[in-house]
């Protein structure tokens, strides 16, 4: 019998190809992605990652296992202090200071919807539901980055090679292994309805990932402003 996480990934594979073929990733591969798209992405993703770390803190409080708590602590540190390296690579591509770019950050519609999807599952349900909504973030980035490396021999001086290699790194597998261990463990005691909710969460977040990239590529804004 397949694990619930194997079912999640199988069902989500088609969207990996769609994200790969969309404008944002193709622009990144060809190093002709507009500076406006990159800045839009950074403004949104900086806020997204801050809140992603806050959701880790919620899960840390929910857990009764010391190893899990340490995992969540490590991930908070990674998201806040290490993933910034990938962001700075994008800022270097634009030719602007990273902090100057993100100080104008805001919640654009697609990013706003995505983070609320995660918060809802963290507060309304258990750890497995929250992690099933969070897992597509590392999973999509890993899959797309590795697809880029499999299909393209990026030159050493490619301005965004670091970004690709950062997310293709094996560290992402370590993170997902811990996610999936918790999800599969909790799924064993769930009803069929609960298991379907996990799959639905994962697939919805994969779609949110695609919308996030497209949001940046088109510089999506709210139509009505306060």
Active-site residue list: 137, 209
Which residues are CB-contacts of 38 (< 8 A; sequence separation ≥ 6)?
A: 90, 91, 93, 94, 216
Dist. CA 21–CA 18, nearest whole Å: 5
Dist. CA 216–CA 27, nearest whole Å: 12
- Which CA distances in Å does 209 have to 34, 61, 113, 130? 19, 26, 11, 16
SS3 80: helix
Q: What is the DSSP letter of 31?
A: T
Dist. CA 136–CA 209, nearest whole Å: 7
């Amino acid at each position: 019998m397949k694990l619930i996480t194997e079912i999640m990934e199988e069902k989500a594979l088609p969207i990996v190809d769609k994200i790969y073929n969309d404008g944002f990733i193709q622009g990144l591969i060809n190093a002709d992605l507009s500076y406006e798209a990159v800045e839009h992405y950074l403004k949104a993703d900086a806020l997204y990652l801050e809140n992603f770390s806050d959701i880790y803190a919620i899960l840390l409080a929910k857990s009764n296992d010391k190893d899990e708590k340490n995992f969540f602590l490590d991930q908070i540190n990674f998201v806040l202090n290490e993933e910034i390296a990938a962001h700075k690579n994008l800022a270097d591509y634009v030719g602007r200071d990273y902090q100057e770019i993100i100080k104008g950050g805001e919640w654009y519609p697609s990013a706003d919807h995505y983070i609320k999807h995660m918060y809802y599952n963290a507060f309304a349900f258990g750890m497995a539901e929250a992690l099933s909504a969070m897992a597509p973030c590392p999973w999509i980035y890993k899959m797309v980055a590795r697809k880029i490396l499999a299909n393209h021999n990026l030159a050493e001086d490619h301005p965004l090679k670091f970004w690709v290699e950062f997310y293709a790194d094996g560290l992402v597998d370590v993170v997902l292994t811990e996610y999936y261990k918790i999800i599969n463990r909790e799924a064993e005691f769930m009803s069929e309805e609960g298991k379907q909710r996990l799959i639905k969460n994962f697939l919805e977040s994969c779609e949110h990932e695609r919308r996030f990239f497209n949001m940046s590529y088109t510089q999506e804004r709210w139509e009505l402003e306060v």
